[in-house]
Amino acid sequence: MPLPREVVQAHAHRFLADFPYQGRELVYCDPPYLHATRSSDRRYRFEYEEADHLELLSLLKKLPCQVILSGYPSRLYDEHLAAGRAWRSR
């Protein structure tokens, strides 16, 4: 039996904040990499500034589900994910 799925084209922060979580979800986030961690000047179609990363981190910390966040090691992520839930870096 196929799993239920839905394709949504919307602002990710708004979607994640409004989603009716049941506690069994897994959210995978792969935002544009922080400028400070990039090895090239190549830009994304939809760029993220530091304020966008901070907003996303604040939102992800509040979600009532498991979260996987992709990105290179950074001071910003380390500082904002150190306290609270069991965040691990790999």
Domain boundaries, the chain: 21-81
Residues 6 or more apart in contact with residue 35 via CB below 8 angstroms = 50
pTM of model > 0.75: yes
What is the predicted pLDDT for the residue at 54? 94
81 C-beta neighbours (distance < 10 Å), count: 17
Q: 39-84 pLDDT, tens per residue? A: 776 676 777 889 999 999 999 999 999 999 988 888 888 888 876 6
Mean pLDDT (whole number) for 6-24? 89
DSSP classification of residue 8: -
Could you write out the DSSP letters of every residue in 13-45? HHHHHH----S--EEEE-PPPPGGG-SS----S
What is the predicted pLDDT for the residue at 44? 66
Give phi and psi for 65, each to the nearest 5.
-155, 180
